[in-house]
Every structure is written in C-alpha cells, then in structure tokens.
Chains A and B, each alone.
Chain A
Amino acid sequence: MILQIFFLIVALVTLVSAFLVVTARGLMHSALWLVLALFGVAVLFAFLEASFFAVVQVLVYIGAIAILIIFAVMLTRRTKDDSGARLIKGWWVAMLASLALFAGLVVAMSTWPGFQIGPGAGPDPAILPQFGMDLVDPNKYAIPFEVASILLLAALVGAIYIAAGRKEGKG
C-alpha cells in the first residue's frame, strides 16, 4: 500500500517533469526538468529492485549526458530571455509520432511473458551475471557489443580531431 503510494508519486513527478521539459520557458529549465525526469526513471528502476539499472541510469544520464546538455545550453547565447512560441507549427505530427511509438512499444512489450508481473517479485538475482556473460558470448551479443564500442571509439577520436583543430602549417 505504502509502496503503491510512493510509486504513484514518483510516476507523477516523472511524467510532470517530462511534460515540463517540453513546455518550460528557458532552455536551462528544460534541461533541469529533464534531469528530474531521468531521476524519476531511476527511482522506478529502484522500485523494481533493479539496482544496477537504477544506478547506471543516474550515472550515465544524470552524471554524464545531462551535464553535457547543460553545458551545451549554458554556452548557447540568449538562454535566459527565451521568449518565443513554445510550440512549432507541426507539433501535432511530433505528437502523433511519439504516440505511435508509445503504442508500438506497449504492443511489443505486452507479448513479453513478464509483462503482467507486478512489482515486489524482484528480478532473478542470477540475471545480471547472465546479462554480463551474454554480452561477451560470441554466440550471443559479443559482435553487437563490440560494434557499439567501436562506434563510441570512433566518436571519441572524431571529437578530439574536431576539438583540437589544425595547427598552422600542418596537415
């Protein structure tokens, strides 16, 4: 009972802050609401006793990506007096697209056998080591995992190349 009340509060906070990401005045506020929305998702993971995903959510999305977004926003000019229309013309197209995506996800997830299980059961404790093993198992996900790593490495190298610029008289 208490857990359900907590869940409802967290879900409400997450949804409201997700809504405010889009509608808030000022880019910086949007970024901060995004942080709160992502944190709410982390709390939801914690409710499901998936502590690994809760922690990774905080680590990656708040510790890294949100900080990066905030930096980008802060370096953008005129973030404070942001006073235009909040919605672009084709907003309903975006809404339809995201609704379609949401519906698709729900349909796809509902075929999964674990869809009906309520919270509290907790995940199988052996599932996380299994997840780790599968990522490096050549018969399962080793190749996609390595490809993703190479993509990230390429992005790193590219970022350094762009940031370093070219020195005078070289290359």
Chain B
Amino acid sequence: MPVFPSDPYGFLTQWFNNLLLHQGLPETTVRLISFAVGSLILVLGSLLFCLLLIWAERKIGGRVQDRLGPNRVGPYGIVQAVADMMKIFTKEFVTPAGVDKVVYNLAPVLSVAAVIMIWAVIPFTITFFGTDLNVGVLYIVAVGGLAEMGIVMAGWGSNNKFALLGAFRAVAQLISYEVPMVVALLLPVMLSGSMKLSEIVRSQDVWYIITAPVAAAIFFITSLAENGRAPFDLMEAESEIVAGFNVEYSGLKFGFFFVGDFLHAFTIALLFSVLFLGGWRGPAADQIPILGFFYLGIKTAIVYFFGLLVRFSLPRFRIDQMMNLNWKMLTPLSLGILIATALVDKGSANLLSSMAPTARLIVRSIILVLANVLVVWSFSDIFDVALGKRPRPVVALEPRPVARPEQPPTPTEGGTP
C-alpha cells in the first residue's frame, strides 16, 4: 500500500481506483476511466508547464545573450508567458484563401500531439508513468514520425509555396537526423537488453553517458536537430523562405506550433536524462519514489540548460554543413559505435560473468569507455575529410576506356538540343 508523502502518485491512483470499484463498476471500465483521467492530467499538466518553459527559455536566452529577458510582468517577468498566451487567445484566426481546411487545421494539433505522446511512456518515478510499453524506445521513434506528418500537412495545406518549401526542408532535415538518432538509441537498448524505458532506467547502475558517451553525444546533437532550433533552425530561415512551414498560420494555431517546439525542447532533455543519466535513479529513490521525481527534474533541467546554451550561442548552419554533419560524421560514427559496442559487450560477457558484481560493473564500464575512445580515434580521418581539413582520398579506379563515341553527337541545326 503506497503511503501518501513518499508516493503521492501511487496513493492517489489506488484511492481513485478503489473509489470507482466501490461504485460497482467493472474492472475494465475503471481501468479505462483512470487511463483517460491520467492522460488528461498529463496533457494539461505538460501544456501548463509549457508556460513556465517559455519564460525560462526567454530568461535564460536573454542572460546568455547579455540581455535581461522578460522583466516587466510579475516578479522576474514570470507572468509574461501568461500575458502572451492571453494575447494569442484573443487574436483573430486568419485563414488564407485556397487552404485545404481540414489538413490546414489538423497540422498544428498533430505537431503538439506528437510531442505530448512521448510523455506517455516516460517513467518519472518508480511508480509514476503513463504506461510501461515493452517497446518504449521504438514508440518514441514512431511518434517522431507523426511530427513529420504534421509539418508536411502544414506546408501543403497552407497553399503557399514558401510554406511548402519550408516543409520540404524541415522534413528532409528531420528524416536525415532520425538515422543517427535511432542508431544511437539502440545503444541503451543493447546495454540494458530491453526497450522498456523503466527497464533501461533500472539497469543503469552505471549511467549510460559513461558507458556510451559517443551515443549520448550523438543523441544530444540529433535531438537538437529534430527540434529544429539553432544551430539547426534552417526550417525557419526568415531570409530565404520567409518563416518556413508555419508562415500562413496566425493566432492560436501559430501558437500551437510554438508550444510544440518549446515542449519538444524539454521533452528531449527528459528523454536524455531517462536514457543516459539514469532517469529517476538516485540515493533512496527506490524507497521514496517522490525523490526520483526531483532527481529526474534536476537532471532534465541541466540537460535542458545545455540545450538552451547551444541554441542561444551558435549561429545557424548552412544547409550543406548540416547535411555533411549528419551523413558524413554522425551516421558513420553511430554505426561504428554500434558495431564496436555490440562486439565488445558480447565478447567480454564470458570474461565478466566470473567476476563479483561490483568488479563486473567497473570492468565493463572501463572496457566500454575504451571501445568508445578507440572508435572516435579511428574515425578521426573521416572527420578530417568531412571537415575539409584534408582532401578526400581517391579510392576509385582511373577511368577506363569504354566502347562509346569519343565525341558526343552534336545537336543538329535548328533542332532541339
């Protein structure tokens, strides 16, 4: 029986379920109702939390760039986001002529939903999670695909060529960066032997940022790119494509895209903490679940802060630089680290199985860190080439003579070439 102060969530759910069961409702109905109520609370909570996030982001952004940030409404400007929200509520919906009504209106909803759906599987404490899917990691990747659908629908439904171009660009970026991200996500899965997020957290006796630092770095970079913020904010390059896929949106619908964006930034920090920083784990978090919530909060805040730091200090990439980084550096590196970790972890399993548990953990971590270092070192050549420090080595054969006319046929006079 969960007690209130140490596990308020477990206590409340049990109380609520018992309340409904005593009304004589069947068990499936009770489960259905409590899931519906839980998801409603989670969605409302995350959306309201977004107000705080917007304030925090603007304030931190201001400080990073040597400005004050919002400082007029409320102490430290903390109510500024509420005022902005009120303003956006009262704005008129301007629907341009020729839009595809359903698609146009569905797109903002979809892009917020895709972010919030991730929250369904995140284990906040040992007892507090929406659902513990046994394919949690895969689910996160799949939900990311829905965000792409939202962008495509926004771009196409707006009936505007800039919006369409922005959507093309955004989706190209998202799909590209999904490749190394998925491969990097495989490392926690491989090390823990499970796709369940709760299992991944539970198995992190040593945080995976230590045993899989390269994967953690790749995941961090790619999730910044998935979020589409500076330095990866090519999808809203004002000077080239006006404002990207959301150019035709106004009022609350435009706000939806931004709510999705702010929430996504926090969600990836949350995911990073769960996957690589041990989630809710910390001293005494097993006995007192509410502590885990604070541990996860602190870890997430730190990762979120680093994400903001990157966002507010780096300039935007050029599109070829962005693609180079992804296809020529991150993708090969993620594949290399995947293969190396798989081989090393399986290869050392026999050696480790005879050791004491503590020694096994330490030796396994050391071996994995060495493997990471080795992989990064062996990739330094590839990075030099990708960064342009060194010319690309010629691996192709010299062109061989083939049976074809030396001179291409000249276009005939007056004919089309």
Check B399–A171 contact: CB distance below 8 A.
Answer: yes
Out of B144, B148, B156, which one reaches A28, CB within 8 Å?
B156
A59 at the B interface (CB under 8 A):
yes
Out of A2, A52, A70, A171, which one reaches B28, CB within 8 Å?
A2
**B-side contacts of A59, CB under 8 Å:** 138, 141-142, 145
Check A55–B103 contact: CB distance below 8 A.
Answer: no
Known: A3-B28, A32-B103, A51-B133. A67 touches B139 (CB 8 A): no
**B-side contacts of A56, CB under 8 Å:** 138, 142
Produce 1/0 per residue, B165-199, CB < 8 A to A: 00010010001001000000000000000000000
Check B145–A2 contact: CB distance below 8 A.
Answer: no
State the majority secondary structure of interface residues on A. helix
Out of B32, B148, B171, B175, which one reaches A2, CB within 8 Å?
B32
Check A67–B145 contact: CB distance below 8 A.
Answer: yes
B42 at the A interface (CB under 8 A):
no
**B-side contacts of A67, CB under 8 Å:** 145, 148-149, 152, 171, 175
**B-side contacts of A170, CB under 8 Å:** 399
State the majority secondary structure of interface residues on B. helix
**A-side contacts of B29, CB under 8 Å:** 2
Q: Within residues 59 to 86 of chain A, which ones have a CB less than 8 A from any CB in chain B?
A: 59, 62-64, 66-67, 70-71, 74
B385 at the A interface (CB under 8 A):
no
A35 at the B interface (CB under 8 A):
yes
A37 at the B interface (CB under 8 A):
no
Known: A2-B28, A32-B103, A55-B135. A63 touches B152 (CB 8 A): no
Bound Cα distance A15, B88 (Å): 39
Closest chain-B Cβ to A116's Cβ sits at a distance in Å of: 22
**A-side contacts of B139, CB under 8 Å:** 51, 55
B247 at the A interface (CB under 8 A):
no
Bound Cα distance A125, B133 (Å): 12
Interface size band for A: 20 to 34
Closest chain-A Cβ to B99's Cβ sits at a distance in Å of: 12
Bound Cα distance A35, B106 (Å): 13
Closest B residue to A63 using CB positions: B145
Closest chain-A Cβ to B338's Cβ sits at a distance in Å of: 16
Bound Cα distance A171, B396 (Å): 10
Bound Cα distance A170, B156 (Å): 39
**A-side contacts of B133, CB under 8 Å:** 51, 55
**A-side contacts of B78, CB under 8 Å:** none
Check B135–A58 contact: CB distance below 8 A.
Answer: no
Closest chain-B Cβ to A40's Cβ sits at a distance in Å of: 14
Check B32–A66 contact: CB distance below 8 A.
Answer: no
**B-side contacts of A125, CB under 8 Å:** 134
**Candidate in B29, B145, B164 with the most chain A CB atoms within 10 angstroms:** B145
Bound Cα distance A45, B188 (Å): 26
Bound Cα distance A63, B145 (Å): 4
Q: Within residues 36 to 75 of chain B, which ones have a CB less than 8 A from any CB in chain A?
A: none
Bound Cα distance A58, B399 (Å): 45
Check A58–B149 contact: CB distance below 8 A.
Answer: no
**Candidate in B29, B143, B148, B152 with the most chain A CB atoms within 10 angstroms:** B152
B153 at the A interface (CB under 8 A):
yes
Closest B residue to A171 using CB positions: B399
**A-side contacts of B171, CB under 8 Å:** 67, 71
B146 at the A interface (CB under 8 A):
yes
**A-side contacts of B156, CB under 8 Å:** 28, 70, 74
Closest chain-A Cβ to B396's Cβ sits at a distance in Å of: 9
**A-side contacts of B149, CB under 8 Å:** 35, 62, 66-67
Bound Cα distance A128, B138 (Å): 14
Closest chain-A Cβ to B137's Cβ sits at a distance in Å of: 9
Bound Cα distance A71, B156 (Å): 10
Bound Cα distance A70, B168 (Å): 11
Give chain A's interface residues, CB within 8 Å of chain B: 2-3, 28, 32, 35, 51-52, 55-56, 58-59, 62-64, 66-67, 70-71, 74, 125, 128, 170-171
Interface CB pairs A-B, < 8 A, 10: A35-B149, A51-B134, A51-B139, A52-B134, A62-B146, A63-B144, A63-B178, A64-B145, A128-B134, A170-B399
Give chain B's interface residues, CB within 8 Å of chain A: 28-29, 32, 100, 103, 133-135, 138-139, 141-146, 148-149, 152-153, 156, 164, 168, 171, 175, 178, 399
The 7 A-B residue pairs with the shortest CB-CB distance in the complex, in nearest-first order = A63-B145, A59-B142, A58-B142, A55-B138, A55-B142, A55-B135, A55-B139
